[in-house]
Structure 1
């Protein structure tokens, strides 16, 4: 597959013609699921915490939308394998499960500093869909009626075999070698009203159509949507050109191929993996020691400061964090202090985050980066960068033997 291939992000389907065989499928109605304002407070986050907005997957951090499971405790996921009458699978469910696990579980354990464990429960057998794979017309921009039929058929054959009350998350994995399966169709499907199955509400499902072996970190990206994180890539209007002009390699919600694939510190703040004491709200001038956001501390060791935030408006902020070749960022080709802008009212796919290119006349890792002009975006020791419209200046004073970065941030009138 071409390097710029992107998983499909979030679909909000219109599902009609639901059969009476499973009455709970009446929940698949033609409405959109929108990430509305927070319904559960997360506690005082300080003056730099942007509020949630009506934007889909808003990056406000002052609360949590409880229609999404929050990954601050172990969650159980059922992994279901679907075959089709027009193809006999050449792989086993165990082989496909191994494509994604335990790698995805380890990704989240590292990213959350051990606060979250994704526990997969893969079925051991194929479940046969009633129609040939090519009948469903799978593709990135999938016909809504065929997509609805796929989901309706899948739930119909799965329901007798799975007790959904045991699980928090659902993954549907299609036979990757069936002739109609298109890996570009991989995405999260949200239901306008939740499915009521076995006494539990199912609000969204990950539909996986990946090749074998799959794209790197693809399931981490899709699982991020299950936790209310947005797509950070830019989709060109004509389907051609660069997809990664917003964030480059610097977050898995931008690209599953990214060299520094860990979540931004802002995302970790939103998910509850960073506590308020690990986030510094900067006003005036502050000297700060930043631990690399991807560094996993030894058992019992403090996390230290992972994120500095400068509030620049009612709905926007500048974030500063350190990135280094460790943890989920171990394949990064550059290290340093990364600066990015965050907007709480920009929806998923619209650019809610954009990385500040502190070296606009150069790039790095042209043979490996998803977007080389941003691969050298971090500041190095001895460098500084000003963002005039944000009245902010960031200076990198040094790096300690432990790997942490000494940074001075100046805001406001002193700039």
Structure 2
């Protein structure tokens, strides 16, 4: 059974200032003393810029970005996050501990994540985004034993702050943080105090300062060796303002994958169809506006290219996403999913529909896949959630979205593998 997903962050608002090292000296960073002050919880108001409702600039079917953490509104970009529409550089620092000499070489750990993570985003973005890793070749030793930090999934805030403080201080003599857009801190997986359920992204309400630059967030990695597949792609998605799409039960028990199942890595890193939803590709700037069709009253016929299909070199590609606006803060998105690219292991192909809501927080259902076959399941033993593994509408099938006046009819496929679809709305 796969492990439950990682939370993004849950830390209190205030953290202590820099303390003393074992030798009684205050840590000294190469250019600027880092300040770990005011880490926030999930709904970090300092990270969600702009008014609750902003002027729409992306067309009539684009939902407005709201104050919800990682809002699915995409009319404007939240500039507190780096937008992955260019090459971004990521440093990967490997942390060891005095109580546990490392058993693995940093190069081997780096190979757990790269080039796989870069390849995932290259495929997902159609080559529009490059994640360029810079793994360090040596271990950086932390000042305290691994057990002293009490690392765990729902981590004590003071222990977490001490870990981050010590890690940046220990790495700074050999790492120029000003050169990088992303920071990955990878703990020795064999250290006794390292908990593989503690991997997450930590957001800073007030940025850390190191080497004259701001660090707004850090990805803390505590994975086993080898790690969960696609785990770093999932965590990196948070760095780009994407929400957790899984459902976290209030008691920690029950199924976590009821909202989106295998569809989109932000739901599960274990999914058979982990490519990002077309809505997310639109949000991140990977879809050209001409590839998004707004369906108004009366509906229309259209041809949908498989979401993972890469356009010819220099080309834009065809229509990837159809959107029906269902309310001020909601829409139904429609896209074709096929067995290629990041979805090459998909359980089923067809036209997938899902609800998008711009006010829902991570874990609250900002995206919910619509199951076109609610009385059937598929891919037991492989799918993270078999009831949704066969969610797409197939050729010759029609389906009406429950509680919405939207009907999808898949009429056929073209010679190039695109799907001909009639969408009726209103």
TM-score tier, shorter chain, comes to: over 0.9
Compute the displacement of 1:38 (Å).
4.5
User: Are 1:309 and 2:323 an aligned pair?
Assistant: yes
Where structure 2 has 5 or more consecutive residues not aligned to the other structure, the ranges are 20-25
How far, CA to CA, are the matches of 2:102 and 2:237 in structure 1?
A: 29
Kept after mapping to 1: 8 A contact 2:49/2:79: no
User: Are 1:324 and 2:338 an aligned pair?
Assistant: yes
In the TM superposition, what are the counterparts of 1:28-107 in structure 2 within 5 Å?
28-32=37-41, 33-34=44-45, 35-38=47-50, 44-107=57-120
Q: Which residue of 1 aligns with 2:23?
A: none
Compute the displacement of 1:28 (Å).
2.1
How far, CA to CA, are the matches of 1:314 and 1:339 in structure 2?
A: 19
How far, CA to CA, are the matches of 1:24 and 1:165 in structure 2?
A: 13
Compute the displacement of 1:27 (Å).
4.3
Compute the displacement of 1:43 (Å).
8.0
Compute the displacement of 1:366 (Å).
0.7
Q: Which residue of 2 aligns with 1:352?
A: 366
How far, CA to CA, are the matches of 2:3 and 2:95 in structure 1?
A: 27
Q: Which residue of 1 aligns with 2:184?
A: 171
- Return the match for 1:285 from 293, 299, 303: 299
User: Are 1:296 and 2:310 an aligned pair?
Assistant: yes
In the TM superposition, what are the counterparts of 1:15-414 in structure 2 within 5 Å?
15-19=15-19, 21=27, 24-32=33-41, 33-34=44-45, 35-38=47-50, 44-283=57-296, 284-412=298-426
Number of residue-to-residue matches in the alignment: 410
What is the alpha-carbon root mean square deviation over aligned residues?
1.6
How far, CA to CA, are the matches of 1:31 and 1:233 in structure 2?
A: 21
Three-state SS of the structure 1 residue aligned to 2:35 is helix
How far, CA to CA, are the matches of 1:229 and 1:285 in structure 2?
A: 30
Kept after mapping to 1: 8 A contact 2:378/2:389: yes
Three-state SS of the structure 2 residue aligned to 1:26 is coil
How far, CA to CA, are the matches of 2:335 and 2:140 in structure 1?
A: 45
Residue deviations 1:109-158, cap 9 Å, x none?
00000000000001000000011111111111111111111111111111
Kept after mapping to 1: 8 A contact 2:36/2:165: no
Q: Which residue of 1 aligns with 2:22?
A: none
Compute the displacement of 1:302 (Å).
3.2
Q: Which moved more, 1:29-38 or 1:368-377?
A: 29-38
Compute the displacement of 1:6 (Å).
1.3
Kept after mapping to 2: 8 A contact 1:251/1:261: yes
Compute the displacement of 1:16 (Å).
1.5
How far, CA to CA, are the matches of 1:301 and 1:68 in structure 2?
A: 28
- Cα gap change, 1:314/1:12 in structure 2, threshold over 3 Å: closer, same or farther? farther
Where structure 1 has 5 or more consecutive residues not aligned to the other structure, the ranges are none
Residue deviations 1:16-62, cap 9 Å, x none?
242353574434225442342448x9983110000000000001010
Kept after mapping to 2: 8 A contact 1:37/1:52: no
How far, CA to CA, are the matches of 1:196 and 1:329 in structure 2?
A: 39
- Cα gap change, 1:38/1:110 in structure 2, threshold over 3 Å: closer, same or farther? farther
How far, CA to CA, are the matches of 2:228 and 2:152 in structure 1?
A: 16
